[in-house]
Amino acid sequence: MRDHETGSVWTQLDGKATDGALKGERLEMIPMPQMTWGEWKSAHPDTLVLSPNTPFSDRYGAVRIGTFNPGEAIYGDDRLDANALVVGVEVDGEFKGYPIAEFARSGGAVNDVLAGQPVLIIYDEASQTGMAYSSLVDGSALEFDESNHDGFSVTDRQTGSTWDAQGRATAGELNGRTLEFVPSFISEWYGWSAYHPDTTLHAAER
Protein backbone atom coordinates (compact mmCIF):
# COMPACT_ATOMS: atom_id res chain seq x y z
CA MET A 1 0.00 0.00 0.00
CA ARG A 2 1.17 3.57 -0.66
CA ASP A 3 -0.09 6.49 1.41
CA HIS A 4 -1.22 9.67 -0.37
CA GLU A 5 0.47 12.12 1.99
CA THR A 6 4.11 10.95 1.90
CA GLY A 7 4.22 8.27 -0.79
CA SER A 8 5.58 5.77 1.71
CA VAL A 9 5.06 2.08 0.95
CA TRP A 10 3.46 -0.10 3.64
CA THR A 11 3.29 -3.88 3.94
CA GLN A 12 -0.17 -5.39 3.91
CA LEU A 13 0.38 -8.06 6.57
CA ASP A 14 2.02 -6.15 9.42
CA GLY A 15 1.65 -2.46 8.57
CA LYS A 16 5.34 -1.54 8.34
CA ALA A 17 6.65 1.20 6.07
CA THR A 18 9.36 -0.33 3.89
CA ASP A 19 10.14 2.67 1.68
CA GLY A 20 9.63 6.43 1.60
CA ALA A 21 9.65 9.23 4.15
CA LEU A 22 8.11 7.05 6.86
CA LYS A 23 10.36 4.02 6.32
CA GLY A 24 10.71 2.09 9.57
CA GLU A 25 7.42 3.32 11.04
CA ARG A 26 4.60 0.90 11.80
CA LEU A 27 0.85 1.35 11.94
CA GLU A 28 -0.88 0.41 15.18
CA MET A 29 -2.76 -2.88 14.92
CA ILE A 30 -6.32 -2.77 16.25
CA PRO A 31 -8.69 -5.70 16.77
CA MET A 32 -11.03 -6.42 13.89
CA PRO A 33 -13.18 -9.39 14.89
CA GLN A 34 -15.33 -11.14 12.33
CA MET A 35 -18.85 -11.84 13.54
CA THR A 36 -22.33 -12.56 12.33
CA TRP A 37 -24.53 -9.63 11.39
CA GLY A 38 -26.90 -10.59 14.21
CA GLU A 39 -24.12 -10.34 16.81
CA TRP A 40 -22.90 -7.01 15.47
CA LYS A 41 -26.39 -5.48 15.24
CA SER A 42 -27.20 -6.61 18.78
CA ALA A 43 -24.04 -5.00 20.15
CA HIS A 44 -24.27 -1.87 17.96
CA PRO A 45 -27.93 -1.22 17.07
CA ASP A 46 -27.18 2.24 15.62
CA THR A 47 -24.40 1.00 13.35
CA LEU A 48 -23.84 2.27 9.82
CA VAL A 49 -23.56 -0.22 6.96
CA LEU A 50 -21.15 0.16 4.06
CA SER A 51 -23.15 0.31 0.86
CA PRO A 52 -22.02 -1.96 -1.98
CA ASN A 53 -23.32 0.63 -4.45
CA THR A 54 -20.17 2.70 -4.98
CA PRO A 55 -18.20 3.82 -8.05
CA PHE A 56 -15.33 1.59 -6.84
CA SER A 57 -17.12 -1.79 -6.80
CA ASP A 58 -15.09 -3.00 -9.80
CA ARG A 59 -11.93 -2.83 -7.66
CA TYR A 60 -13.08 -5.53 -5.27
CA GLY A 61 -13.27 -9.15 -6.32
CA ALA A 62 -14.74 -12.09 -4.44
CA VAL A 63 -13.00 -12.84 -1.15
CA ARG A 64 -11.00 -16.05 -1.44
CA ILE A 65 -9.06 -17.29 1.54
CA GLY A 66 -7.95 -20.77 2.52
CA THR A 67 -8.09 -22.09 -1.05
CA PHE A 68 -5.00 -23.49 -2.74
CA ASN A 69 -3.28 -21.15 -5.15
CA PRO A 70 -0.07 -22.32 -6.86
CA GLY A 71 1.17 -18.74 -7.08
CA GLU A 72 1.04 -18.43 -3.31
CA ALA A 73 2.48 -21.84 -2.51
CA ILE A 74 6.00 -20.68 -3.40
CA TYR A 75 6.10 -18.50 -0.26
CA GLY A 76 6.53 -19.45 3.38
CA ASP A 77 7.54 -22.91 4.55
CA ASP A 78 6.11 -26.42 4.33
CA ARG A 79 5.19 -27.07 7.96
CA LEU A 80 1.57 -26.51 6.88
CA ASP A 81 -0.19 -26.39 3.54
CA ALA A 82 0.38 -22.98 1.97
CA ASN A 83 -3.25 -21.88 2.30
CA ALA A 84 -3.98 -23.43 5.69
CA LEU A 85 -5.50 -20.84 8.01
CA VAL A 86 -3.81 -19.86 11.26
CA VAL A 87 -4.40 -17.31 13.99
CA GLY A 88 -1.11 -15.44 13.80
CA VAL A 89 -0.05 -13.88 17.11
CA GLU A 90 2.74 -11.42 17.92
CA VAL A 91 4.07 -10.62 21.39
CA ASP A 92 7.18 -8.48 21.91
CA GLY A 93 8.68 -9.42 18.56
CA GLU A 94 7.96 -13.14 18.86
CA PHE A 95 5.52 -14.80 16.46
CA LYS A 96 3.44 -17.96 16.62
CA GLY A 97 0.82 -19.53 14.39
CA TYR A 98 -2.17 -21.39 15.78
CA PRO A 99 -3.74 -23.56 13.05
CA ILE A 100 -7.52 -23.21 12.84
CA ALA A 101 -7.78 -27.00 12.46
CA GLU A 102 -6.21 -27.51 15.90
CA PHE A 103 -8.89 -25.54 17.76
CA ALA A 104 -11.35 -28.41 17.43
CA ARG A 105 -9.06 -30.38 19.75
CA SER A 106 -8.61 -27.55 22.24
CA GLY A 107 -12.28 -26.57 22.54
CA GLY A 108 -11.92 -23.21 20.81
CA ALA A 109 -9.51 -21.79 23.41
CA VAL A 110 -5.75 -22.14 23.80
CA ASN A 111 -3.87 -21.03 26.91
CA ASP A 112 -0.25 -20.34 26.06
CA VAL A 113 2.84 -18.31 26.94
CA LEU A 114 4.54 -16.28 24.20
CA ALA A 115 7.62 -14.11 24.83
CA GLY A 116 7.11 -14.84 28.51
CA GLN A 117 3.59 -13.42 28.50
CA PRO A 118 0.45 -15.51 29.22
CA VAL A 119 -2.00 -15.30 26.33
CA LEU A 120 -5.43 -16.62 25.40
CA ILE A 121 -6.06 -17.49 21.76
CA ILE A 122 -9.66 -18.13 20.71
CA TYR A 123 -11.40 -19.31 17.59
CA ASP A 124 -15.17 -19.10 17.22
CA GLU A 125 -16.14 -21.48 14.43
CA ALA A 126 -19.63 -20.01 13.98
CA SER A 127 -18.39 -16.48 13.23
CA GLN A 128 -14.90 -17.56 12.13
CA THR A 129 -13.31 -15.12 14.56
CA GLY A 130 -9.74 -15.82 15.61
CA MET A 131 -7.97 -13.46 18.02
CA ALA A 132 -5.58 -13.35 20.97
CA TYR A 133 -5.67 -11.54 24.29
CA SER A 134 -3.41 -11.10 27.29
CA SER A 135 -4.48 -13.47 30.07
CA LEU A 136 -3.38 -10.99 32.75
CA VAL A 137 -6.08 -9.33 34.84
CA ASP A 138 -4.87 -7.14 37.70
CA GLY A 139 -1.45 -8.72 37.39
CA SER A 140 -2.66 -12.31 37.71
CA ALA A 141 -2.79 -14.80 34.84
CA LEU A 142 -6.12 -16.48 34.15
CA GLU A 143 -6.63 -19.80 32.39
CA PHE A 144 -9.65 -20.42 30.20
CA ASP A 145 -11.85 -23.25 28.99
CA GLU A 146 -14.65 -23.21 26.44
CA SER A 147 -17.98 -22.82 28.23
CA ASN A 148 -21.32 -24.46 27.51
CA HIS A 149 -23.33 -21.26 27.03
CA ASP A 150 -25.24 -20.53 23.83
CA GLY A 151 -22.87 -19.03 21.30
CA PHE A 152 -19.13 -18.83 21.77
CA SER A 153 -17.75 -18.07 25.22
CA VAL A 154 -14.95 -19.13 27.55
CA THR A 155 -14.84 -19.39 31.33
CA ASP A 156 -11.79 -18.62 33.42
CA ARG A 157 -10.82 -21.27 35.95
CA GLN A 158 -9.86 -18.81 38.68
CA THR A 159 -13.15 -16.89 39.08
CA GLY A 160 -15.65 -18.75 36.89
CA SER A 161 -16.37 -15.56 34.94
CA THR A 162 -17.66 -15.91 31.38
CA TRP A 163 -15.96 -14.09 28.50
CA ASP A 164 -17.06 -13.56 24.89
CA ALA A 165 -15.02 -13.70 21.68
CA GLN A 166 -14.25 -9.99 21.97
CA GLY A 167 -12.49 -10.54 25.29
CA ARG A 168 -15.27 -9.05 27.43
CA ALA A 169 -16.44 -10.61 30.67
CA THR A 170 -20.21 -10.94 30.41
CA ALA A 171 -21.00 -12.69 33.70
CA GLY A 172 -19.38 -13.59 36.99
CA GLU A 173 -16.99 -11.91 39.38
CA LEU A 174 -15.13 -10.07 36.60
CA ASN A 175 -18.26 -8.98 34.70
CA GLY A 176 -17.54 -5.78 32.78
CA ARG A 177 -13.78 -6.29 32.51
CA THR A 178 -12.05 -6.55 29.12
CA LEU A 179 -8.92 -8.50 28.24
CA GLU A 180 -6.15 -6.57 26.49
CA PHE A 181 -5.95 -7.30 22.77
CA VAL A 182 -2.71 -8.88 21.57
CA PRO A 183 -1.75 -8.22 17.91
CA SER A 184 -3.34 -11.14 16.06
CA PHE A 185 -5.42 -12.00 13.03
CA ILE A 186 -6.33 -14.90 10.78
CA SER A 187 -3.85 -15.43 7.97
CA GLU A 188 -3.03 -18.00 5.37
CA TRP A 189 0.11 -19.89 6.37
CA TYR A 190 2.13 -18.96 3.29
CA GLY A 191 1.83 -15.26 4.14
CA TRP A 192 2.35 -15.58 7.88
CA SER A 193 5.42 -17.82 7.58
CA ALA A 194 6.93 -15.75 4.73
CA TYR A 195 6.66 -12.52 6.70
CA HIS A 196 7.79 -14.24 9.91
CA PRO A 197 10.21 -17.05 8.98
CA ASP A 198 11.15 -17.58 12.64
CA THR A 199 7.54 -18.16 13.68
CA THR A 200 6.78 -21.13 15.89
CA LEU A 201 3.74 -23.30 15.30
CA HIS A 202 1.25 -24.51 17.90
CA ALA A 203 0.13 -28.12 18.02
CA ALA A 204 -2.83 -29.13 20.19
CA GLU A 205 -2.33 -32.03 22.59
CA ARG A 206 -3.54 -35.32 21.16
Give the whole-angstrom CA distance, residue 39 versus residue 45: 10
Per DSSP, the three-state class of 162 is strand
Domain limits, the chain = 1-28, 62-201
Give pLDDT tens digits for 150-170. 778 999 999 999 999 999 999
Are the C-beta atoms of 2 and 10 separated by less than 8 Å?
yes
Q: What is the dihedral of CA 127, 130, 132, 138, to 10 degrees?
A: 10
Give the whole-angstrom CA distance, residue 44 versus residue 62: 26
Give the whole-angstrom CA distance, residue 77 versus residue 68: 15
Region 102-124: mean pLDDT is: 93
Strand partners, 121: 110, 132
Does pLDDT of 104 surpass 90?
no
Closest CA relative to residue 66, chosen from 196, 189, 169: 189
Mean pLDDT over the full length of the chain: 91
Does pLDDT of 206 surpass 60?
no
Q: Is 0.85 surpassed by the pTM of this model? A: yes
- The answer to whether domain 62-201 has CATH 3.40.50.620 is no
